[in-house]
Chains A and B, each alone.
Chain A
């Protein structure tokens, strides 16, 4: 009974802190602007199955991609065991889902196998982080904090896997020595229990309890660590994939407020139509928190800082300042920094800083070739160019701060309908004196 009370207390505390954190992050969505309507649910489900469940994009790098995929698929089985632990903890039962029979055996056996596999994979990931020089793990945005964060997340997962195996191993010993039936099937822990055969009844029981509590409290801690970590993708990546922009990568969003203005300009009659003055003046493009759409923000929460985007960015590969990962990280950082203050102190709150300028520089933005390699690579369907191009829109339309050469092409297009300074009248010159061979029939 005491165990149940302690468990419920721990659970309530965990959920309470989690709710508070998530609530704070979610409140920031109230500051965001509309992005696109979420339709085509069927297509979204297919996409989620393919990209999130099936790991199709992370597997574009087959070796390290399958390592991640195995961790993820294993996690799904282990999750069922974790849910069982919560039920057991509240109800004071032991292995309550054991009633499922063979299904339970299969799930638990897979969980047991995956626990070992994941532990080994996490060790490999830690080895990569600590001893190997992986280029995409470096970059100006990868602060010491980012590296520590990554290692903490990996270590916590390792801890969870070890305690899971420990829990299973000593459960087998405890149950068999006290004459109970061993519920479930444990390929790895059965083997381990053989190695720990010398452990006596009471010690086995205690070690089982220690590992059980260690595992579940580890999960509770991890759940509350995640929202403050790059590892938040555990929660956000699947929704982010589901809420992907389904348009082709090459399509930029059409700014409806511009369409209105352009139509007014192009239609001579419209000049005499009275315009409504009450509409708030909208800014063009993205400068700071208030211009960000919910999708930009969700993207930033889903980012794991894996750096696949930056590692394929032509600008970054050739030594330019631009790193798509940095831009996404900047959005998350700035949304939290200013967003929370805006919620507390009202939307007019300002710290005299802005995402554009203080976090992201024009030099980074102008280096983008809009090739979409980053977006194509992102395992969780973040659209980095969307944010970059929105900031360009602000630079050009609000600040008239385009590079000089681009201002030149703007005026060429306005004056002669081409980016180059050639007269529209010369558009057919290529067709002059055009001859071709024709077979003699």
Chain B
């Protein structure tokens, strides 16, 4: 199929607002999505998919701030609540009703924790959004790009165990016609990547192994050529694990949004 290249303009909510416009969805990019070099690619991929689907969305841009999740799990409830109350106020002023995010930590704190502080909006993880689009027939992935490829999926703790979402990511992978091979520890039994609970930002305590290496070994055991994740922290950890195992040349680590963008040839 022939393609043209087009520039993607990302709508910013403040600008829409100044024109008396609004958007159906707020895409919460998250700090990792905005600043982590690897995860910026995921953000870009997801925005391409949103554009492809013609979704009415906008981002907060420079008005966005930390969800406070990391601070909360690191014990700093004061800082968490300051961030949360600020974010809730901002979203309320914009009349935001639905939020999409690629980050399960943001998803979890928005969905389960912000309501205690007065938040009143629906939160959707991008895996759920994409899976729903596939289910509704609005998103058709090419069956050829990943057909015959072996993929494994790493369940992020805050999407899986914390919120019980195991199906949506798998539905997306299956609709690429790839072969999904499960790790020995999967779904509610999945092993953490090692980055949750603020571990991402500190040295691990003394031990005999890094958690991310243990988890990468689970993934490598499956013989998959691609490890699919759905969380910015998991992405960093598994990427490090592949490098540590010298497998980063042969095995790739991609996010669900990238998987979808690739199978749409975006």
Contacts and interface: CB of A to CB of B under 8 A. Distances in A.
Interface of A: 60, 247-252, 254-255, 258-259, 261-263, 265-266, 284-285, 312, 314-315, 317-322, 363, 366-373, 376, 389, 392-397, 402-403, 405-406, 408-410, 413-414, 417-420, 422, 424-431, 434-440
B207 A406 contact: no
19 contacts: A249-B162, A252-B72, A259-B117, A262-B78, A285-B75, A318-B204, A318-B207, A318-B214, A366-B202, A367-B205, A369-B192, A376-B161, A393-B77, A410-B79, A413-B79, A417-B31, A417-B83, A431-B10, A439-B4
Interface in B41-95: 43-44, 47-48, 51-52, 59, 61-62, 64-66, 68, 70-79, 81-83, 85-86
Interface stretch (B108-116, B129-137, B174-182, B243-251): B108-116
Contact of A397 (B76, B191, B203): B76
Nearest to B45: A436
Contacts of A255: 77, 81
B75 A392 contact: yes
Q: Kindly state the interface size class of chain B when it binds its partner.
A: 35 or more
Nearest to A418: B31
Interface string B12-53: 100000000000000001010111100010011001100110
B163 A259 contact: no
A375 to B, nearest CB: 8
B266 A436 contact: yes
Interface stretch (B193-201, B220-228, B252-260): B193-201
Contacts of B33: 430
Contact of B192 (A252, A373, A437): A373
The 3 closest A-B pairs by CB, nearest first: A250-B162, A370-B197, A319-B208
A402 B163 contact: no
A410 B71 contact: yes
A254 B113 contact: yes
Contacts of A322: 205
Given A250-B162, A435-B8, A438-B6, A389 B73 contact: yes
B161 A397 contact: no
B4 A440 contact: yes
B4 A317 contact: no
Contacts of B61: 427-428
B77 A366 contact: no
Contacts of B65: 417-418, 424
A434 B265 contact: no
Contact of B74 (A265, A406, A425, A426): A406
